[in-house]
Structures are given as C-alpha cells and as structure tokens.
Amino acid sequence: MSFRKYIHAVGTGPKGNRDLTYEESIDMMKQILEQSVHPEQISAFLLGWRLKPETVDEFRGALNACDELIKYTEIPDSIELGYPFDGKRRNPYIFPLVAKELENSGLDLIVIGDELQPAKHGITTKEVCTSLELPNGIKYFDRADFFKNMSDLTEIRMRLGLRTAFNTIEKLPHVAKSDFAITGVFHKPYVKKYVEIFSDRYKRFALIQGNEGTPELFSKGRMWIGSESGTDEFIIDPAYYGINYTKSWDEISFEESLNQIKNPSEEFIKLAKLNAAIYLFIAQKVKSIDEGFELLNG
C-alpha cells in the first residue's frame, strides 16, 4: 500500500484519523525499516502515530515486521532486560553487579544496546558495555549487528528528537529467544498494554517501576508479572531487605557512572542482590523474591 495512505490515517486529526489494521502495520513497518520512503514521510508518520495514539494491534504488527529482519542467537536459560535506548542520566546502571551476583545461578542477562536514541540524552547501555570488562553472565547484543535496519533509523529519529512508538517497540527484540523478560514502565495504565503487546513472546514476562524507566529497582515500587490469563502485582521495598540506598536526582557524568559500578558502595551491592533476586524469581529459579535474596546472602 502507498505509504501516503498510512500518513493520512494518522495525520488528519481526531475526526479523520483511523487505526491501522494488523496487516497494514506490518506493511508500514517494513517500508520504514527498508527506508523505501522518504525520511520526511517516516518522521511525519511517527509523529502522527504517536499523537493518534498507537494501538496494541499496530504494535504487534510492527513487531512482526521487525521479527523478520532480526538475526537471532538463542541463549537458553536467559532473561532479556528491556532497557530504554535514551539512556540513564542520574544514576549508574546496576546490571554488571547483578550479573556478578548471579554467577552461580546459571541465568544469563541479555542486554541490548545501540547509539543514543531520543529523547532523554542519557548514558546508554552500549557505552557501559563497551567500556567495561563484563561478567560472563552478561550477553551483550549490539543492534547494529543483529538488527541493522532499526539501527540505521537513528539519524532520522535524532533529527525528529521526540519519543515515538519505536521507544516501545525496540525495548524487547527477543534476539536471544529468552524464555523470560523484564522491562521498565513509568505508569500503571501502560501495564495492560505492555502485557498485551509482549507477554505471549515469553514464558514469563514482567514489568517494573524501575529507575529512569529501566528494569532496575532502586527504590520502593511495583512489579507486575503478566500473561494472557491475568496480571499479578507485587510491591517491592528495598528497606524491607535492610537496604538504605539513596538514588540520585542530579545528573552524573559517564566517568562517575562507571566509577560507581567499578567501586560500588555496600548499599549498592545490597541493591544488586535484590535485583538479582527479582530476576531469579521471574526466571522461576526461586519461589519468591525473599527466597532469592536469602539465597544470595547465604
């Protein structure tokens, strides 16, 4: 179908807009990924699509188109961590420390990275993973290698400079065919939509009110484990586990971020153990987060 029809569907205003069908969403996404249409058309569609806004069927169709172009490397016994590609600005990443805590668990952490995407201008997982000697339990995938079509859209997206549907679609590419996955979510109303979009791609799928939109818990928050049959909610409070870590509200430099990973405080290590316990629970290696935390502190 002509791409102009897709722009018309999302860009004519509340009275004229319409949702794309699942099949149209596949075709739309293929044209964008192949860049067979002009950059201006891609930007116009992404902006209109965001404002319309997007539907679950549209997201699922777009993911289907992505699936056909991704180069998969299956890693059994792994959990995919869905990080935002616009990075973190105020706090260090904790996943390198979490991986160390999980060394004897047999559970690998799947981390995906690429160049910075809109709109936060934070420190990216790629910067961290290419600057540190990573523990064996981290399997890092650079999107430029396994999904070049999406990576090649970076310049267009940065020129637009706004969050788009891609910020949701790109979090969980399922590149390692992991049975388990967790990603961050800001607001509870989005939980149902994320479950409908992603849960059937995994044996067990979780969402967490993580630090700066990441799958990393730094303070009291909620976690949801969703499936087609329903969603279970958990409240997790680091203080309950004797953790008194205070997250930062100020921007930190890349050097300071790396330094806190290389030379972690005692409270940051405790926090890493809690996050590791959460991942063990999601991956069904323990029956509860409490059990996982006790195991890692035993």
Domain spans in the chain, listed from the N-terminal domain onward: 3-67, 78-296
Q: Which fold has domain 78-296?
A: Pyrimidine Nucleoside Phosphorylase; Chain A, domain 2 (3.40.1030)
- Residue 112: which H helix or E strand, with range? strand 108-113
pLDDT of 204: 96
Residues in the chain predicted with pLDDT less than 70, given as ranges, are 227-228
Q: How many whole angstroms separate alpha carbon 278 and alpha carbon 111? A: 16
* Residue 244 dihedral angles phi and psi, to the nearest 5°: -120, 40
C-alpha 253/C-alpha 183 separation (Å) is 24
Q: Find out whether 57 and 156 touch, Cβ atoms under 8 Å.
A: no
What are the distances in angstroms from CA 98 to CA 20, 55, 135, 147, 282?
A: 41, 34, 10, 26, 14
Predicted local confidence at residue 228, as pLDDT: 65
Q: Superfamily for 3-67?
A: Transferase, Pyrimidine Nucleoside Phosphorylase; Chain C (1.20.970.10)
Which phi and psi angles does 195 have, rounded to 5°?
-60, -45
Please choose, from the candidates 159, 5, 150, the residue with its C-alpha nearest in 3D space to the C-alpha of residue 67. Answer: 150
**pLDDT, position 182:** 98
Give the total residue count for the chain. Answer: 298
Q: What is the pLDDT of residue 51?
A: 95
Half-sphere CA count of 96, side-chain side, radius 13 A: 21
pLDDT given for residue 59 in this prediction: 98
- First-to-last alpha carbon distance for the chain, in angstroms, is 60
Nearest to 215 by CA among 228, 239, 198: 198
| pLDDT, tens digit (0-9, with 9 covering 90-100), for 170-202 | 999 999 999 999 999 987 788 999 999 999 999
Same fold, 3-67 and 78-296: no
Provide CB contacts within 8 A for 83, sequence distance 6+.
111, 112, 113, 125, 171, 183, 184, 214, 215
Determine the pLDDT at residue 230. Answer: 79
Q: Taking a C-beta distance cutoff of 8 angstroms, is the pair 111, 83 a contact?
A: yes
8 Å CB contact between 296 and 101: yes
d(CA 105, CA 102) in angstroms, rounded, equals 5
